[in-house]
A and B are shown apart, each in its own frame.
Chain A
Amino acid sequence: MSTAAATHDDHHDHHHAPTGLKRWLFSTNHKDIGTLYLWFSFAMFLVGGFMAMVIRAELLEPGMQFVDPEFFNQMTTVHGLVMVFGAVMPATVGLANWMIPLMIGAPDMALPRMNNWSFWILPFAFGILIFAVLMSAFGAGNPSAPNFGWTFYAPLSTKYGPASTDLFILSVHMMGISSIMGAINVVVTVFNMRAPGMTMMKMPLFVWTWLITAFLLIAVIPVLAGVVTMMLTDRHFGTSFFDAAGGGDPVLFQHVFWFFGHPEVYIMILPSFGIVSAIIPAFARKPLFGYASMVYATASIALLSFVVWAHHMFTVGMPLAGTLFFMYMTMLISVPTGVKVFNWVATMWRGSMTFELPMKWAIAFVVLFTCGGLSGLMLAITPVDFQYHDTYFVVAHFHYVLVTGAIFSIFAAAYYWLPKWSGVMPSKLLGELHFWNSLISANLLFFPMHFVGLAGMPRRYADYALQFADYNFWISIGGFWFGLSQVIFLVVAVRCAMKKGEPAPAKPWEGAEGLEWEVPSPAPFHTFDTPPVIK
């Protein structure tokens, strides 16, 4: 290991690696870019979280208290956009950047300059979007930020969209460019840069899930770009894609959007499956149960994700055959997903389990993601979806899969790999506080949403009927609690970045497997200049 460290120093001198601001602006190093992605996504998580706090403050009590309904709509819209495109997606791209080269024994990502660009587009994309919100919050006159929900249905976003819709379109285009470049980079890296002996079926599952995610991104982000371009031409160039008066059809928007939107939700969750599949075997001290079936399950989820989009639009008046097709296809997805959950449970079965922080988050993921999956199965049933559609039940469902699913697994990944990234162990005390507070508050926040949803509380309104007051009070309390708990993670991460804490060995987790544990902690600037040999 000391030789590796020495090599690292040599390189440093040899390349005159830039320091300070230039190091980050011009970086082509996968570890630096991964770090940038992770910090950026955490910053966006806090920004989007702040917007959620505004939403929950308004909903704490019935009636109007803090913001007017117009601003409330902007908050729900931008909260969704920032969390989906700014927090979850860049966080998984950051993990991919850091871990994929280390896991497959590659010296870096295949296209380092493109990597730099795909990151540095993001702050500008979100700068534009958040600029629209700031103008709305502090601006003179009344310039509204996007206020049509994160799904930006036409004609709300075309005919009735505020002027800032054009900023939103530009911003989404830039996020899309960034995602596509990131995805191409992952595909090229995985196909071309694997160390000798690292066959496809020997790759860690995180690499597999990310490879499949990358293909999903390349397939559907152009559809998103297409739909926002169609919006743009409808708004300014006299086309009528989504305008019935000119021969278009607003329902077409929903079809195109959800053809992107459904694979998008798998883009957010598949990397999480990979993370959990790395962590559970490490702390159960058993190899992952059913590795090959995990790969095939991931691939089938990805393929099925293209033929289920209309389950988001059962209420538009589709023919019976159409709703039946989409209902059965959606239910079919629970088969490969069930395979995964059973495999994780089977991995833990009779394992020598210990419950370090990453494992706690991973187990919480398995349980709570399955809860979200089950409510998804309920939503898939067409006749009952007519009741659930656009209620808080849907909000509960997708927050279970995205917050206690995707975000919990990202925290699991952070606690698991922080020793490798920073060279110090994350604080156990703060980590435990973060975990238990998040776990309890997230359930207080999202579980009662099922009940108010079933009772008929619609989503995206700034006010509600009095009968929902008690539940909403507790949901809001859970919300503030969950929000504050995330500040603990900020402290954990900053302490690690400042190298405060117990120094981490190369392999801090006894049962962990994989090439990333063969390099020292913190991982040197350059790793695997000579490819490792894989048995």
Chain B
Amino acid sequence: MSDNQLSVEERNKRTLTKLVIWAVGMFAFAFLMVPFYNVICDITGLNGKTSSTAATDAPAEVVEDRTVTVEFITQKGDGISGEFTSETKRVKVHPGEITLVHFYASNPTDSDMVTQSIPSVSPGEAARYLHKTQCFCFDQQTLAAGERKDMPMIFYLDPEIPRHINQFTLSYTIFDVTERVAGKNNSVAAN
């Protein structure tokens, strides 16, 4: 190879450059892992991740001859001392039927709280047939001190949902992200 005609110093420099590029590439790969993983989960519905954006197109049809049971469970993550419940614990819907479910969260503390809810579907296979046209989980929700907030969620099931899925659970975990948001704003302000 032409490498042999170069001096040792030159070859060492090349090796060093390659190694540095490799290390930087690996570092970048580690940082890209979460978005990459999310994209894979979005596409395949692995891990019960639901889409994080609102569905814009209406369902093509309502499949009247099928009913799917959707159950809702709520969990409170760190720092949440108030209430977080769903009005409905389970609904029976026809695929394609647009359904509204109310969730409630309260903030009994004396200060405002920013919350983020994270959805998860089990079995994960159902995740990609769940289309939400409106969800409190798409954005961070601010709960004023002492507020009890009504957080609606509107969804429909894909008419294409496989026959063997006749029941699934949608779980929401609510987290207090006040400090995280404040930290971000501070760092933006500092810049």
Give residues in A with beta carbon < 8 Å to B: 159, 222, 226, 229-230, 238, 240-241, 244-249, 251-252, 255-256, 316-320, 322
Contact = CB atoms under 8 A, between A and B. Distances in A.
B133 interface: no
B125 A249 contact: no
A249 B180 contact: no
B123 to A, nearest CB: 7
A245 B30 CA distance: 19
A355 B95 CA distance: 71
Nearest to A243: B175
Contacts of B184: 238
Interface in B75-98: 77-78
A256 B34 CA distance: 11
Contact of A241 (B34, B77, B125, B176): B34
Output the residue of A229, A240, A247, A320 with the most chain B CB within 10 A: A247
A240 B124 CA distance: 22
A111 to B, nearest CB: 13
The list of the 8 closest CB pairs from A to B, nearest first, reads A245-B175, A226-B30, A244-B118, A319-B125, A252-B37, A241-B34, A319-B124, A245-B177
B41 to A, nearest CB: 8
Given A244-B118, A245-B77, A252-B34, A226 B26 contact: yes
A317 B121 CA distance: 10
A238 B179 CA distance: 10
B183 A317 contact: no
A317 B120 CA distance: 11
A246 to B, nearest CB: 6
A320 B44 CA distance: 12
A319 B116 contact: no
Interface residues of B, number: 29
Given A159-B78, A244-B173, A252-B34, A319 B123 contact: yes
B29 to A, nearest CB: 8
Given A245-B175, A249-B47, A238 B26 contact: no
A322 to B, nearest CB: 7
B180 A245 contact: yes
A463 B44 CA distance: 41
Nearest to B35: A247
Given A159-B78, A317-B122, A320-B125, A249 B173 contact: no
Given A238-B180, A317-B122, A320-B125, A244 B48 contact: no
Contacts of A320: 125
B118 A245 contact: yes
B186 to A, nearest CB: 11
B177 A246 contact: yes
Given A222-B26, A238-B184, A245-B177, 17 more contacts: A238-B183, A241-B34, A244-B77, A244-B173, A246-B116, A246-B177, A247-B38, A249-B34, A249-B41, A249-B47, A252-B33, A316-B47, A317-B124, A318-B124, A319-B44, A319-B45, A319-B124
Contacts of A238: 180, 183-184
A403 B180 CA distance: 45
Contacts of B45: 319
Interface in B27-69: 29-30, 33-34, 37-38, 41, 44-49
A249 B37 contact: yes
A317 B123 contact: yes
Contacts of A318: 46-47, 124
A317 B173 CA distance: 17
A322 B124 CA distance: 11
Contacts of B177: 245-246
Contacts of A322: 46
B122 A245 contact: no
A156 B118 CA distance: 19
B172 to A, nearest CB: 11
Contacts of B38: 247, 249
Nearest to B176: A245
B163 to A, nearest CB: 15
B150 to A, nearest CB: 22
A256 B123 contact: no
Nearest to B45: A319
A521 to B, nearest CB: 40
A248 B34 contact: yes
A173 B34 CA distance: 21
Contacts of A226: 26, 29-30, 33
Nearest to B30: A226
B158 to A, nearest CB: 16
